[in-house]
Amino acid sequence: MMKDDFPNTFRNISRKAGLQIWTINSMKMVSVPTKAFGNFFQGDCYIVLNIRDHKGAAQSIDVHYWIGNSSSQDEQGAAAIYVTQLDEYLGGSPVQYREVQGYESPQFRSYFKNGIIYKTGGVASGFNHVDTNSYNVLRLMHVKGKKHVTAKEVEVSWNSFNNGDIFLLDTGKLIVQWNGPQSNRTEKLKAVLLAQDIRDRERGGRAQIGVVEGESERESPELMKVMTAVLGEKPNKLRDAIPDEKHDQSQSSSVRLYHVFENGGNLVVQEVATQPLTQDLLLSSDCYIVDHKGSSVMVWKGKRASKVERQEAMNRAMGYIKAKNYPPSTRVEVMSEGGESAMFKQLFKSWTEKGQTKGLGSTHSVGKIAKVDQVKFDVMELHARPELAAQQRMVDDASGDVTVWRIENLELVEVDPRTHGQFYGGDCYLVLYTYLRSNQKQYILYMWQGRHATKDEITACAYQAVTVDSKYHGAPVQVRVIMGKEPRHFLAIFKGKFIILEGGTGRAGAVNPESSTRLFQVRGTTEMNTKATEVPARASSLNSNDVFLLKTDRVCYLWYGKGCSGDERVMARTAGDVLFRQDKQVVMEGQEPANFWVALGGKSAYASDKRLHREDMIYSPRLFECSNQTGRFRMTEVYDFAQSDLDEDDVMLLDTWEELFLWVGKHANKSETTDTWTSAQEYLRSHPAGRDPDTPVIFIKQGYEPPTFTGWFNAWDPLKWNEENIYDEMKNKMRDEVDFISHITADLSHTGIGGDGYRAPGGPMSSPPPYRTQGLDFSPKSPTSPKAKFPPFPTSVGGGRYLDPELLVNKEASELPEGVDPSQREEHLSDMDFESLLGTNRADFQRLPKWRQNDLKKKAGLF
């Protein structure tokens, strides 16, 4: 398709980073104004384009088409066609997503941080998009969700309410938030943010918000008068709480890869492989479907696939969903080779970008030992740049204080500092690391579990960790460490002298079985990353890339593989001096004496490839809300996460691939907190990429976050947890706008709403009459009436007459109401509107110099 063949709408598409939205109107794409973003009419389809910039990399482009529950098949078809054309227009690089109302992907929801509003009607009903500063509104919205907030317009009636959710009654100038008695603090806060968003975007900031707590309505008499005026008398009993619909799928390790092609006009779906998938299965000449157990269907288009195959990718995905009898709401992603989504990559055992040499995460080739090159860094930068601390997995330079205990008879016994770093595979240890940050003591408590320790010892280790944690008032960050899977910082605190002895115990007086021959593999280039690990004393354990220590009855050999570096040899000598005091005989690979091979039981093949530089893989960090409320482990992903997504009532899991962080809010459910370790192990076990079950797990309490955690969040605020409860603070600011609310109530009462002759829709009177006042139609036939006319009417305040701001702001002198002096428009504003527009009260405004007054009036559109 030539550029000239694309719809004219495409020529106005911006290539700058940001969000752009269109709706389908008469089968054409019509741009949606920015102020209407987040509002979706249920009878329509939308196309959402999101472009993101990345430092040192190409832009990433995502195209979503959203399907309203009441939209027509024609509109859905038109949206799908436009998305395919848009993909081609943008060079085939976008990832395409199919979104269904109520089942949107976490990524889609992340674009609308304050929530999504489902509005009644659509193009067919003649809707007009948001008219900023218009008060022509009467609607009731049912708000649900903590992480992903949605608000659906419902019948303006008490019949729509229940005790477990939150409802927003929007009357134009006043938005009343009613909190169900069984709603929680996080839900209340999210609803307040949504109400503020409506006020700011749809009313230009000129509306008031009031909050009513359902269990204590008597504390908000004025607000209840407004609700009664609109809804009628509240019934004695409301419906019970409605359980949230669970669209988030529990993680499944079931992933299948299919080759999709046409043969004689028939769609052929041929299974290629099951999990764990590898990247080399994808051939550039073909198209594939990855089925994540029905929770999502992803289509991958090879660069050399035919044009027809690439264009039909979305249709083939829908055909596959239909053939599998999956629900129509199943999420669909379509992507091209080289433009894969982060979620797609995470379904593969390994994923590397072409030409990539560094990144986050690691993998090792089976049967081979890969090298890890420690990146040198400026220690001071770790404090100034937490993102560097996160990427290096280092909270500091490991110069803090170290205390080590061993579990003996299920109790803690402190280890002699002279033997710090020597860990026996038959033991469990607690290691407390203390360091300073901003002159405050910080703690990390490592729980090291030997491969041959008993279950009782492992249990005692966890129990004693709780005891130590309590001693320090819950401040330590807890890290589970499995023998052989030690994180970088753990190695660093032992200054190149970390040694793992395969069996036995370090307990005083214990007799360990002595072997005449012992072999240790030493890996590391500095004291920050070196460890010596005992391996089976046989030739097959050797590796040309490393240094080995071989101890026999008569001599200690220091074996240098051909691929080892000078730094590695120096560190091996340091470890060797800790293990064995006797002199070492240096042996170069290929020049071994006969006794060397005799000690190893004879010469045999071993890993002798060239240095195996690992290809670090880029895996984007992912944040999940963890829950076991339904009786099974579930996760809700938070896309494009920020610190504000860490709710005090939640347990969160942050997966950085090399490590797992479990963050526990101070108000988190006690049962969920207790089960977090099990949840982390379940997450690793069920991960479709076949994750290492011994991946380090780091347990963090709210308020004690180390830089290795905070560095994954943009603009972390260390004082956030010291602030007063945000929701209560917001509510207090909005509390008791008594004068204004009284006037709203008076205005509503003049309409006859709430009088003896009227009850709310669905109330005792079966056919309540329509009622009008000042041209205002409050007909109960619809939750929102598009035909209702709300003219800007004067509000009587304290005996005076004030004009609606709409009549004064950004108006030419000839457009002003009769009698209004263009240079004194502010005199016709109510006190509330005056402060809202000018940012100060009348008295303070009068004290300002004339030039400053004029400046404020210009900014407010009153000059």
From 188, 179, 183, select the one nearest 220 (Cα to Cα).
Answer: 179
**pLDDT score of 618:** 58
Instruction: Give yes or no for a contact between 351 and 279, defined as CB atoms under 8 angstroms apart.
Output: yes
pLDDT top residue among 266 and 310: 310
Under the banding of pLDDT at 50, 70 and 90, the label for residue 371 is: very low
- The percent of residues in the chain predicted with pLDDT above 90, rounded, is 27
**DSSP secondary structure letters along 641-661:** --GGGS-TT-EEEEE-SS-EE
Q: What is the mean pLDDT of residues 259-279?
A: 80
State pLDDT tens for residues 222-256: 999 999 999 999 998 998 877 765 544 444 557 88
State pLDDT tens for residues 425-444: 999 999 999 998 878 899 99
Q: What is the mean pLDDT of residues 154-179?
A: 93
**pLDDT higher than 90, residue 408:** yes
State pLDDT tens for residues 7-51: 677 888 888 888 999 998 888 888 898 888 999 999 999 999 999
The whole-angstrom separation of Cα 404 and Cα 413 is 8
Domains belonging to the chain, first-starting first, are 18-125 (3.40.20.10), 256-348 (3.40.20.10), 514-611 (3.40.20.10), 622-718 (3.40.20.10), 808-860 (1.10.950.10)
**pLDDT score of 811:** 85
Kind of pairing between the strands at 296-301 and 477-482? unpaired
Instruction: Give yes or no for a contact between 794 and 801, defined as CB atoms under 8 angstroms apart.
Output: yes
**pLDDT score of 729:** 66
With a CB cutoff of 8 Å and minimum separation 6, the contacts of 129 are 32, 33, 36, 39
For residue 87, what are its two tokens? 């993909």
Sheet with strand 547-551: strands edge to edge: 422-424, 498-501, 531-535, 518-523, 547-551, 556-560, 584-588
**pLDDT higher than 90, residue 465:** yes
pLDDT top residue among 267 and 467: 467
Task: Reply yes or no: is the peptide bond before residue 276 cis, omega within 30 of 0.
Answer: yes
End-to-end CA distance of the chain: 52
Residue pointed to by tokens 């992933």: 255
- The percent of residues in the chain predicted with pLDDT above 70, rounded, is 79
Under the banding of pLDDT at 50, 70 and 90, the label for residue 846 is: confident
Instruction: Give yes or no for a contact between 128 and 41, defined as CB atoms under 8 angstroms apart.
Output: no
**pLDDT higher than 60, residue 680:** yes
From 233, 226, 139, select the one nearest 758 (Cα to Cα).
Answer: 233
State pLDDT tens for residues 763-779: 332 233 332 223 333 33
Instruction: Give yes or no for a contact between 153 and 139, defined as CB atoms under 8 angstroms apart.
Output: yes
**pLDDT score of 397:** 85
Mean pLDDT score of the chain = 79
Under the banding of pLDDT at 50, 70 and 90, the label for residue 179 is: very high
State pLDDT tens for residues 568-620: 999 999 888 888 877 889 999 999 999 999 999 999 888 776 544 444 445 67
Whole-prediction pTM: 0.61
From 171, 195, 154, 202, select the one nearest 37 (Cα to Cα).
Answer: 202
Distances (CA, A) of 557 to 496, 497, 538, 589, 596: 19, 18, 14, 12, 8
**pLDDT score of 449:** 93
State pLDDT tens for residues 688-717: 777 888 889 999 999 888 888 888 887 777
**pLDDT score of 793:** 36
**pLDDT higher than 50, residue 128:** no
pLDDT top residue among 615 and 90: 90
∠ CA 233-236-239 to the nearest 5 degrees?
105
State pLDDT tens for residues 314-366: 888 888 888 888 888 888 999 888 888 877 887 887 777 654 433 323 332 22
